[in-house]
C-alpha cells in the first residue's frame, strides 16, 4: 500500500509538472521540519504560515530565523473572530468543539483540562490576500473553515481528509466546494488529499488510475480499522 500512497513530496511532484508557485501557504504547521511546504520555503518562495500553538510558534521563529520570505500569523483559523479553545495531544492540536479529529477517532482520546488552551482565531479572509497559489492545511478536522472564507483560488490545495479510521467531519462540504470551484483530486497520501485545478496542473491517466487504487485501499483500511475499534474498543 505504501507504494500506492507514494511518499514523494509535494515539491517533487509539482517540479515534474513544471508548475512553480509564487505564493505558498500552510495552516497548521506544527514543527517547522515537518512542514508540508518546507522545500518551497527554503527555495525562497513567498510563504504565509499560520500556527496558533505558542510552542510551535517559537520553534518556527527559531528555525526560519534567516528566512525573509515568511510571514507568520500567530492565530487559529475558524469561521468567526475571537477566542477559541484548542486541545493539544502530542502532534494533534484541534478545536475542542469539534466532534471528530484523528486523536478522537483513531485513539479514543478524551479531552482533559490540562491539554486545553485558548487562542485568538480569525476567518481566513483576514489573512488571505487573494494571491496564494499553493495551500496546505492540516488542522485536525477544521480544514473546512479555511476553505469557507478563502479569497484565493490556489492551483494546488492539500488537505488532511482521512487516516486510519478517521474521516474529516466536513468531507462532504470539502468535496462539494472542490467540485463547485473546478478542482479535482490529484493524489492521496495516508492522511491527505491533494486537489488541483486541472487547467493549471495536468492530471495524467496514470494519476487517475493510481488515485482510484489508493482510494480503494484507504477505504478498505478504514473499514478494517473501524471494525477492529468496534470489536476491541481500541
DSSP conformation letters of 120-184: EEE-GGGT--S---EEEE--TT-HHHHHHT-----SEEEEE-EETTEE-TTHHHHHHHHHHTT-E
pLDDT at 3: 47
pLDDT at 166: 86
- Domains in the chain: how many in total? 1
Q: Which helix (H) or strand (E) holds 116?
A: strand 116-122
Q: Mean pLDDT of all residues in the chain?
A: 90
Confidence band, pLDDT 50/70/90 cuts, at residue 170: very high
pLDDT at 7: 63
What is the average pLDDT across 11-38? 96
Angle at the Cα of 63 from the Cα atoms of 60 and 64, rounded to 5 degrees: 80
| pLDDT-wise least confident of 56-70, 169-183, 212-226 | 212-226
The pTM score is 0.91
pLDDT at 101: 67
Give dist(CA 46, CA 64) in Å, integer: 13
Q: Name residue, grid cell 496542473.
A: 201
Of 96, 95, 145, the closest CA to residue 125 belongs to: 145
pLDDT at 106: 59
What is the average pLDDT across 91-104? 71
Asked if the structure places residue 220 within a domain, the reply is yes
Residue 16, pLDDT above cutoff 70: yes
Summarised one tens digit per residue, pLDDT across range 41-65 is 999 999 999 999 999 999 999 999 9
Asked if the structure places residue 161 within a domain, the reply is yes
Strand locations in 75-115 (E)? 76-77, 82-89, 92-95
- In percent, the amount of the chain with pLDDT more than 70 equals 91
Asked if the structure places residue 186 within a domain, the reply is yes
What CATH number is attached to the domain comprising 72? 3.40.50.150
Asked if the structure places residue 3 within a domain, the reply is no
Range of the domain at 115: 10-232
Asked if the structure places residue 136 within a domain, the reply is yes
pLDDT at 43: 96
Give dist(CA 141, CA 101) in Å, integer: 5
| pLDDT-wise least confident of 67-76, 188-197, 220-229 | 220-229
Residue 2, pLDDT above cutoff 60: no
Asked if the structure places residue 4 within a domain, the reply is no
Asked if the structure places residue 5 within a domain, the reply is no
Summarised one tens digit per residue, pLDDT across range 105-158 is 656 667 777 788 899 999 999 999 999 999 999 998 899 999 999 999 999 999
- In percent, the amount of the chain with pLDDT more than 90 equals 74
Question: 141, 101 in Cβ contact below 8 A?
Answer: yes
Which residues are CB-contacts of 140 (< 8 A; sequence separation ≥ 6)? 28, 92, 93, 94, 95, 98, 101, 102, 103, 160
How is residue 123 written as a grid cell? Answer: 476567518
Residue 168, pLDDT above cutoff 70: yes
Of 64, 71, 59, 62, the closest CA to residue 24 belongs to: 71
Confidence band, pLDDT 50/70/90 cuts, at residue 212: very high
Asked if the structure places residue 182 within a domain, the reply is yes
User: For the stretch 175-185, what's the b/e string if a residue is b when 16 or more beta carbons lie within 10 angstroms of its beta carbon?
Assistant: bebbeeeebeb
Confidence band, pLDDT 50/70/90 cuts, at residue 89: confident
Amino acid at each position: 500500500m505504501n507504494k500506492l500512497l507514494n511518499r514523494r513530496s509535494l515539491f517533487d511532484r509539482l517540479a515534474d509538472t513544471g508548475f512553480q508557485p509564487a505564493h505558498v501557504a500552510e495552516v497548521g504547521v506544527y514543527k517547522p521540519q515537518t512542514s508540508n511546504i518546507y522545500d518551497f520555503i527554503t527555495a525562497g518562495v513567498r510563504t504565509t504560515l499560520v500556527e496558533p500553538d505558542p510552542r510551535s510558534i517559537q520553534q518556527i521563529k527559531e528555525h526560519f530565523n534567516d528566512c525573509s520570505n515568511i510571514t507568520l500569523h500567530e492565530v487559529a483559523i475558524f469561521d468567526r473572530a475571537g477566542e477559541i479553545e484548542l486541545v493539544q495531544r502530542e502532534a494533534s492540536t484541534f478545536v475542542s468543539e469539534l466532534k471528530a479529529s484523528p486523536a478522537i477517532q483513531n485513539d479514543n482520546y478524551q479531552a482533559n483540562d490540562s491539554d486545553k488552551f485558548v487562542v485568538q482565531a480569525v476567518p481566513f479572509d483576514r489573512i488571505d490576500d487573494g494571491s496564494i497559489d499553493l495551500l496546505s492545511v492540516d488542522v485536525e478536522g477544521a480544514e473546512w473553515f479555511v476553505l469557507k472564507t478563502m479569497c484565493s483560488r490556489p492551483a494546488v490545495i492539500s488537505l488532511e481528509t482521512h487516516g486510519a479510521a478517521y474521516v474529516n467531519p466536513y468531507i462532504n462540504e470539502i468535496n462539494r466546494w472542490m467540485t463547485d470551484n473546478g478542482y479535482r483530486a490529484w493524489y492521496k497520501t495516508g492522511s491527505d488529499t491533494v486537489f488541483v485545478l486541472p487547467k493549471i496542473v495536468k492530471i495524467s491517466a496514470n494519476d487517475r488510475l493510481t488515485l482510484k487504487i489508493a482510494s480503494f485501499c484507504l477505504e478498505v483500511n478504514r473499514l478494517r480499522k473501524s471494525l477492529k475499534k468496534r470489536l476491541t474498543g481500541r
